[in-house]
């Protein structure tokens, strides 16, 4: 029998195929399903008419994981990380929204749950390795982009440290999504045609606004044209908007394309400006905090992503005395406080941090929190 691998089974097609590939490679494979959200305690489930009998999506995922593990002949374990998730991911998410920032809880879920709590449980179960269905690679000890550049998920793994990446397998790193679907169909898996999950990890495809009303008060306020100081409409709460957003703005009476460019938390104002190339969306530097490097590379120049699936941009890094990094770049649109800035050296994802302040000409943009 080969070395033992515990793979995170999410009930989706990616982890299903990853488990098959590991078996084919001769590993002793077992699955582990994580329950991170308690619908009975957290009164957030609003129903999903696309599911049979209105089953909670998480329970549907578990049922699918059970079926897949039966189909491919591996044991499935189940564990609850509800408290850990609430303490380390959900509270962070709420705190960031209260500050008017745009958080990325999936990154914190990987840092604190999937590659911490999960890994500890896998070791307790006797694992030599852990595995997930992420599109990424480990190559010569470095975290690297996956073959499928459109699905690459190294951005979400940027807060993992070197120790967390040890003895980790990413079976999907060298294949693309089309091949994943093909393998699932060839093996007649329950998840072969299952739709990919979208949205924030714990919210899924629920109505985001209705979900948040359970946890944060909704405070309506003015939408103001930052160039003319004219009131354009009313927003439903600053937490529902992010920099660069165009859809969902209630700016009646104009056919102009207005974009969110900033927020004033004290005055509860959402600032907008005309056109996607307006100057208020542009910046040339930012301060990045909560820095994490997963290897010994500390470049002065590299590339960076400021959002998932955004292009790479050339950047210069200045290491500050307080442990933060000043990231300089040519004019880039919609760099947003709370989002991750992730550093790359060619194919290697070497780490990253969280955007704290956004600047232009070495001055903080007053309309960005």
- State yes or no: is 201 an active-site residue: yes
* Residue 144 near residue 137 (C-beta atoms within 8 A): yes
Instruction: Compute the C-alpha angle 50/309/285, nearest 5°.
Output: 135
**Beta-strand runs (E) in 166-281:** 168-169, 221-225, 231-235, 258-264, 269-274
Q: Which helix (H) or strand (E) element contains residue 179?
A: helix 177-186
Cα–Cα–Cα angle for 359, 363, 368, rounded to 5 degrees: 50
CA atoms within 13 A on the CB side of 298: 8
Of 109, 117, 286, 349, the catalytic one is 109
Residue 205 DSSP symbol: T
CA distance 95 to 216: 10
Annotated catalytic residue: which of 69, 117, 144, 201? Answer: 201
Residue 109 annotated to the active site: yes
Q: Residues 287-304, buried b or exposed e (16+ Cβ, 10 A)?
A: bbeebbbbbeeeeeebbb
331 DSSP 8-state letter: E
Q: How far apart (Å, rounded) are the C-alpha atoms in residues 34 and 22?
A: 19
Give 349's Cβ-side CA count (13 Å radius): 29
Dihedral sign, Cα of residue 114, residue 117, residue 122, residue 123: positive
- Provide the 3-class DSSP secondary structure of residue 351: strand
Specify whether the CB–CB gap between 288 and 327 falls below 8 A. yes
Calculate the CA 9 to chain-centre distance. Answer: 18
Query: What does the DSSP assignment read for 222-242?
Result: EEEETTT--EEEEES-GGG--
Token pair 């760099």 is at which residue? 335
Buried b (16+ CB within 10 A) or exposed e, 86-120: bebbbebbbebbebbbbbbbbbbbbbbbbbbbbbe
By annotation, the residues acting in catalysis are: 109, 201
């Amino acid at each position: 029998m080969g070395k033992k691998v515990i793979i995170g089974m999410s009930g989706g097609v990616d982890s299903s195929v990853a488990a098959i590939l590991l078996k084919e490679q001769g590993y002793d494979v077992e699955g582990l399903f994580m329950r991170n959200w308690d619908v009975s305690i957290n009164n957030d489930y609003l129903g999903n008419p696309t599911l049979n009998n209105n089953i909670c999506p998480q329970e549907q995922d578990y049922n699918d994981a059970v079926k897949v593990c039966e189909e491919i002949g591996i044991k499935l374990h189940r564990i609850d990380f509800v408290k850990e998730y609430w303490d380390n991911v959900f509270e962070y998410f709420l705190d960031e929204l209260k500050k008017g920032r745009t958080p990325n809880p999936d990154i914190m879920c990987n840092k604190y749950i999937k590659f911490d709590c999960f890994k500890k449980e896998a070791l307790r179960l006797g694992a030599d390795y852990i595995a997930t269905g992420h599109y990424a690679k480990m190559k010569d000890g470095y975290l690297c982009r996956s073959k499928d550049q459109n699905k690459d998920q190294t951005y979400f793994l940027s807060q993992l440290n070197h120790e967390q990446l040890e003895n980790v397998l990413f079976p999907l790193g060298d294949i693309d999504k089309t091949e994943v679907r093909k393998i699932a169909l060839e093996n007649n898996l329950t998840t072969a045609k299952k739709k990919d999950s979208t949205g924030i990890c714990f919210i899924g495809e629920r109505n985001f606004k209705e979900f948040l009303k359970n946890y944060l008060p909704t405070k309506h306020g003015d939408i103001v044209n930052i160039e003319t100081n004219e009131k354009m409409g009313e927003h439903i709460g600053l937490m529902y908007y992010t920099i660069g957003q165009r859809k969902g703005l209630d700016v009646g009476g104009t056919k102009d394309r207005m974009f969110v460019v900033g927020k004033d938390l004290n005055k509860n104002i959402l600032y907008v400006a005309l056109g996607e190339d307006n100057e208020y969306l542009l910046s040339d530097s930012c301060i990045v905090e909560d820095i994490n490097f997963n290897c010994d590379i500390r470049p002065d120049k590299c590339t960076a992503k400021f959002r998932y699936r955004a292009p790479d941009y050339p950047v210069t890094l200045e290491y500050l005395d307080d442990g933060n990094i000043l990231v300089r770049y040519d004019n880039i649109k919609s760099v947003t406080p709370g989002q991750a800035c992730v550093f790359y050296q060619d194919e290697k994802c070497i780490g990253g941090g969280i955007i704290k302040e956004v600047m232009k000409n070495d001055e903080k943009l007053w309309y960005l929190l």
